[in-house]
């Protein structure tokens, strides 16, 4: 699988560098052509000579050390690789590439490359869980970077937790999987996804909304595209950059979302309604700003259209998926919604858990299907939840 593959290994400065030597050895034994680029910090742990001896290639450490005067190293290496691996990827390296910095040879290569990049983080558990680090990882995911999650265990600092560089043998398996012929289980399918919140106007200044970030729906859109689908994303207001090659329709209110979804509905094969649509809106809206006074303000609300119920009632051959964000009796309410809305599947999550849900990059869900399947997914990245959900849908469609 790896024979003759050109792999560029980027190594940054952490104690896990010793595993990168083992990784280099395993890749070369598989027949891969490995070139190593080291940050300055990495050279403090292991000398370039160690990687040179194992890879039997020059090791690159300095942007200004041009080994071949006929080539510009960072452009040549960026184009040379079939795949780039960052192992270990420290918090510092992740932060630099997430923010577009190219202040050494490795980050300059990453800025110049068009190849896929696999990132294998390694750091202290508290550093890994730091909000800035998690935000930088999310940024890289939105840019198209792929991840080999760190494992849990005893860390060099003495802590026990998630942050260990994944074992080289498992990194090799991930690399082999990358080079497997791509299976596109949703090729030829049209997928409609709704995401984000809605905003219901009160006056020119104020509106009612909810806590949805849109991250789950956007993750589903990204993965569906990677699985070969033609993706249509109807999105409420979010700050997320939409995935490339996806048809995006921006809406604000529940009414606008209803109109856009129903306009597309009959042409779709799969509909995944992950948006958090307002159930109620102000009965009266005001053209001018409401001025405050000494009295309490009472606003009367009216029901919005139940988009999911409408889709279930007008379903032809579409596969319809709903979401249920609950705080109690999550399984019971989810099962009722699956039946009452005439769904093919429902994704249930407990939003009382602050480590998952709306603003988090992680989710923990139960997928129930009309056919009787119940799939429990423990806490994991929303992109991984999206992959498992779409895989389940594709399997059910094949059964039909």
Q: Catalytic residue positions? A: 157
User: In a 3-state reduction of DSSP, which class is residue 18?
Assistant: helix
User: In a 3-state reduction of DSSP, which class is residue 321?
Assistant: strand
Asked whether 328 and 337 are in contact (CB, 8 A), the reply is: no
239: CB partners within 8 A, 6+ apart? none
Structure tokens at 57: 């290639």
Is 279 annotated in some ligand binding site?
yes
Structure tokens at 154: 């005893």
Is 252 annotated in some ligand binding site?
no
Is 67 annotated in some ligand binding site?
no
Is 289 annotated in some ligand binding site?
yes
Asked whether 165 and 16 are in contact (CB, 8 A), the reply is: yes
**165 to each of 83, 125, 146, how far by Cα in Å?**
19, 11, 15
**E-assigned strands of 219-300?**
230-235, 247-250, 270-273, 280-282
In whole angstroms, give the CA distance from residue 118 to residue 85. 5
Q: If we measure between CA atoms, which residue out of 147, 178, 89, 130 comes closest to residue 380?
A: 147
- For 163, list phi and psi in degrees, rounded to 5: 160, -10
H helices present in the chain, as ranges: 17-29, 48-55, 73-80, 91-98, 105-112, 125-129, 131-143, 168-179, 215-226, 254-265, 307-313, 330-340, 382-399
245: CB partners within 8 A, 6+ apart? 225, 231
**What is the chain's alpha carbon radius of gyration, rounded to the nearest angstrom?**
24
* Bridge partners for 153 per DSSP: 161
Q: Which residue has the tokens 């993750």?
A: 219
Asked whether 24 and 37 are in contact (CB, 8 A), the reply is: no
In whole angstroms, give the CA distance from residue 317 to residue 164. 46
Torsion 206-211-217-219 (CA) sign? positive
Is 323 annotated in some ligand binding site?
yes
Asked whether 121 and 94 are in contact (CB, 8 A), the reply is: yes
In whole angstroms, give the CA distance from residue 47 to residue 243. 40
- For 153, list phi and psi in degrees, rounded to 5: 160, -165
Binding region for CTP? 279, 289, 323, 337, 341
Binding region? 279, 289, 323, 337, 341
């Amino acid at each position: 699988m790896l024979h003759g593959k050109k792999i560029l290994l980027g190594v940054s400065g952490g104690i896990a560098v010793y595993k990168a030597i083992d990784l280099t050895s395993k890749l070369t034994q598989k027949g891969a052509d490995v070139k190593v680029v080291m940050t300055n910090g990495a050279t403090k742990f292991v000398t370039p000579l160690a990687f040179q001896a194992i890879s039997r290639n020059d090791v690159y450490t300095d942007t200004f050390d041009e080994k071949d005067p006929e080539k510009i190293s960072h452009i040549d290496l960026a184009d040379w690789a079939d795949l780039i691996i960052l192992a270990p990827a420290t918090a510092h390296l992740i932060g630099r590439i997430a923010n577009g910095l190219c202040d050494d040879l490795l980050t300059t290569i990453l800025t110049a490359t068009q190849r896929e990049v696999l990132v294998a983080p390694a750091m202290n558990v508290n550093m890994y869980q730091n909000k800035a680090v998690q935000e930088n990882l999310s940024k890289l995911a939105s840019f198209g970077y792929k991840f080999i999650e760190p494992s849990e265990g005893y860390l060099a600092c003495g802590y026990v937790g998630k942050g260990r560089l994944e074992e080289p043998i498992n990194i090799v398996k991930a690399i082999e999987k990358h080079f497997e012929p791509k299976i596109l289980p949703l090729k030829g399918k049209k997928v409609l996804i709704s995401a984000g919140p809605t905003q219901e106007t009160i006056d020119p200044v104020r509106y009612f909304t909810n806590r949805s970030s849109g991250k789950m729906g956007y993750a589903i859109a990204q993965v569906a595209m990677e699985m070969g689908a033609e993706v249509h994303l109807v999105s409420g207001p979010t700050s997320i950059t939409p995935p490339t090659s996806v048809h995006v329709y921006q809406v604000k209110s529940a009414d606008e979302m209803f109109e856009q979804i129903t306009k597309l509905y009959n042409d779709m094969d799969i509909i995944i309604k992950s948006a958090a649509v307002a159930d109620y809106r102000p009965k009266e809206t005001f053209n001018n700003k409401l001025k405050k006074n000494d009295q309490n303000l009472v606003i009367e609300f009216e029901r919005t259209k139940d988009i999911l119920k409408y889709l279930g009632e007008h379903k032809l051959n579409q596969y319809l998926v709903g979401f249920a964000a609950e705080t109690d009796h999550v399984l019971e309410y989810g099962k009722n919604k699956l039946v009452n809305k005439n769904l093919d599947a429902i994704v249930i999550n407990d939003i009382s858990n602050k480590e998952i849900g709306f603003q988090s990059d992680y989710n923990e869900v139960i997928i129930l299907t009309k056919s009787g399947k119940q799939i429990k997914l423990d806490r994991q990245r929303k992109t991984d939840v999206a992959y498992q959900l779409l895989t389940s849908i594709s399997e059910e469609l094949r059964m039909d």
